[in-house]
Amino acid sequence: MTYYFTYSRMKNIFICMFFFFLVLIVNAQKNAKVWNALLDNKRDEAFSLVNQLNTENDIENLVLKKLVEMERGKMRSDSNFLKKISGYEGCENYMFSNWTMTYFFSDYFEVGFNNETYESPHLIDASKISNSTVKNGLYYLQSITKRSQRDWKSYTDLMNNIEAVRDWEYCGVFENLNSSGIDMQYPPEEETSNKVVFEAQSNGDAQWYMSSNKTEAYNFFTNHSEYGAGVHYAQTFINSPKDQRVRLKLGKGGLVRLWLNDALVLEEDDQYNTELDAYTYEVNLQKGVNRVLLKLATNGSNPYFILRLENIEGKPLNNYSVSFKNRNYKKNSLKDVNPKLIPHAVETYFEQKLKDLHYDINLTKFCLFLSYHRNGKVNKAINLLEDWFKEYPQSSLIRTCLMKCYKTKGDQSTLKRTQDNLKREDPKYYMSSFLEYENFEDLMRLDIKAYEEKLRKIGNAVDYSFMKRVSEFMIILRHNDRLKMRKKLDELLDDPTLPSSVKPIFSEFYSKLFNDDNAAINVLEKYNKVEFNSEIIRYLAYYYKKQNRIEDVINLYTEVINKFEYDNDFLYKIIEILHDTGQYKRSLPFIEKGLENYPNSYSFVKAKGDVYVQLGKKKEAVNLYKKALIRNPSDHKLRKKIDDLENKKNVLEEFRLNEVYNFIRENRNKNIPNNYGVNTLLNDVTVLSYKRGGGEFQESFIHEVTSLNGVNIFKEYDLGLSGNYQIKKAEIIKPNGESIPADRNGAKLVFSGLEIGDVIYVDYMKTYSTYGRFYKDYVLSHGFNGYHPVLKNTYRLISLDQEVNYVVKKGKVKYNRYKKGDYYVHEWKLENIPSIPVTEDYMPAFNDVVTRLSVSSINSWNDIAIWYSDIVRKQLRVDKTVEEVFNEIFKNGYKELSENERAKKIYYYITDNLNYSHVGFRQGGYVPQKPSKTLKTKLGDCKDFSSLFLVLAQKAELNVNMVLILTADYARDQLLLPSSNFNHCIVKVKISGKDQYLELTDKNLPFKSLPMSLRGATALEIPYDNSAKVDYNLFKLDDVLREKTRFVSIAELTLDKDESNIKLTTRVTGHLGSYYIDVLTNKKDKLLNDEVHQELSNRASEPVKLINIENLNLDKESGETTYVTNLSSDIKISKVGGLKTFKIPYFLNPYNNLVIQLDKRSYPIDYRQYENTDDYSEKIIIKLKEGEEFVSLPENLTYSFKKHFFSISYKLIKENHLEVNIESHVTSDLILPENYIQFKDFVEKVLDTRETLIAFKQASLVD
Q: How many whole angstroms separate alpha carbon 900 and alpha carbon 888?
A: 18
CA quadruple 337, 341, 346, 349: dihedral sign: negative
> What tens digit of pLDDT does each residue of 661-702 get?
999 999 999 999 999 999 999 999 999 999 888 899 999 999
Specify whether domain 163-342 bears CATH 2.60.120: yes
> What tens digit of pLDDT does each residue of 59-113 get?
999 999 999 999 999 998 889 999 999 899 999 999 999 999 999 998 787 888 9
Backbone angles phi, psi at 901, to 5 degrees: -65, -40
Give the pLDDT of residue 634.
82
Specify whether domain 862-1036 bears CATH 3.10.180.10: no
Question: Which has the minimum average pLDDT: 96-105, 197-206, 394-403, 881-890?
Answer: 197-206
> What tens digit of pLDDT does each residue of 110-139 get?
888 998 889 999 999 999 999 999 999 999
* Pairing between β-strand 790-799 and β-strand 678-689 as defined by DSSP bridges: parallel
Give the pLDDT of residue 159.
97
Query: Percentages helix, strand, coil for the chain, rounded to the nearest 5?
Result: 40, 25, 35
Give the pLDDT of residue 708.
97
Whether the per-residue pLDDT at 168 is higher than 60: the answer is yes
Q: How many whole angstroms separate alpha carbon 635 and alpha carbon 645?
A: 16
Q: How many CB atoms sit inside 10 A of residue 792's CB?
A: 18
Q: How many whole angstroms separate alpha carbon 290 and alpha carbon 336?
A: 12
Give the pLDDT of residue 890.
97
> What tens digit of pLDDT does each residue of 226-263 get?
998 899 999 999 999 999 999 999 999 999 999 999 99
Whether the per-residue pLDDT at 3 is higher than 60: the answer is no
Give the pLDDT of residue 772.
81
> What tens digit of pLDDT does each residue of 283-338 get?
999 999 999 999 999 877 789 999 999 999 999 999 999 999 999 999 999 999 99
Instruction: Please report, rounded to a whole number, the percentage of residues in the chain having pLDDT higher than 90.
Output: 82
Mean pLDDT, range 185-213, rounded to an integer: 94
CA quadruple 908, 914, 918, 923: dihedral sign: negative
Specify whether domain 651-857 bears CATH 2.60.40.3140: yes
**1046-1258 in CATH: which number?**
2.60.120.1130
Mean pLDDT, range 423-449, rounded to an integer: 87
Sheet holding 743-745, edge to edge: 716-718, 748-750, 743-745
Give the pLDDT of residue 301.
76
Give the pLDDT of residue 20.
37
Is 1216 in contact with 1185 (CB distance < 8 Å)? yes
Give the pLDDT of residue 178.
65
Higher pLDDT, 516 or 5: 516
Please name the amino acid found at residue 740.
I
Instruction: Please report, rounded to a whole number, the percentage of residues in the chain having pLDDT higher than 70.
Output: 97
Whole-number Cα distances in Å, 725 to 568, 648, 732 = 30, 21, 21
> What tens digit of pLDDT does each residue of 401-433 get?
999 999 998 888 899 999 999 999 999 999 998
Residue 1197 Cα to chain centre, angstroms: 56
Question: Would you list the DSSP string of 666-688?
Answer: HHSS-----SSSEEEEEEEEEEE
Bond into 322 cis (ω within 30): no
Give the pLDDT of residue 1117.
76
Whether the per-residue pLDDT at 177 is higher than 80: the answer is no
Residue 1114's pLDDT band, with cuts at 50, 70 and 90, is confident
Is 784 in contact with 807 (CB distance < 8 Å)? no
Common-topology check for domains 651-857 and 1046-1258 = no
Residue 1262's pLDDT band, with cuts at 50, 70 and 90, is very low
In terms of Cβ atoms closer than 10 Å to its own Cβ (0-12, 13-18, 19+), residue 1087 is exposed
Give the pLDDT of residue 26.
41
Is 954 in contact with 974 (CB distance < 8 Å)? no
Whether the per-residue pLDDT at 366 is higher than 80: the answer is yes
> What does the H/E/C string look like for 961-989?
EEEEEECCCCCCCCCCCCCCCCCEEEEEE
Cα pseudo-dihedral 729, 733, 738, 739, rounded to 10? -20
Whether the per-residue pLDDT at 929 is higher than 90: the answer is no
Paired strand residues for 1223:
1177, 1207
Residue 928 Cα to chain centre, angstroms: 13
Paired strand residues for 807:
854
Whether the per-residue pLDDT at 438 is higher than 80: the answer is no
Whether the per-residue pLDDT at 7 is higher than 70: the answer is no
Give the pLDDT of residue 796.
98
Residue 19's pLDDT band, with cuts at 50, 70 and 90, is very low
Give the pLDDT of residue 918.
66
- Contacts of residue 635, defined as CB under 8 A and 6 or more positions apart, other chains included, come to 602, 606, 628, 629
Give the pLDDT of residue 954.
96
Give the pLDDT of residue 925.
67
Backbone angles phi, psi at 17, to 5 degrees: -65, -40
Whole-number Cα distances in Å, 940 to 880, 927, 1192 = 19, 12, 61
Parse the chain into domains and list their residue ranges: 80-160, 163-342, 439-501, 651-857, 862-1036, 1046-1258
Give the pLDDT of residue 1261.
55
Does this model's pTM top 0.85? My answer is no
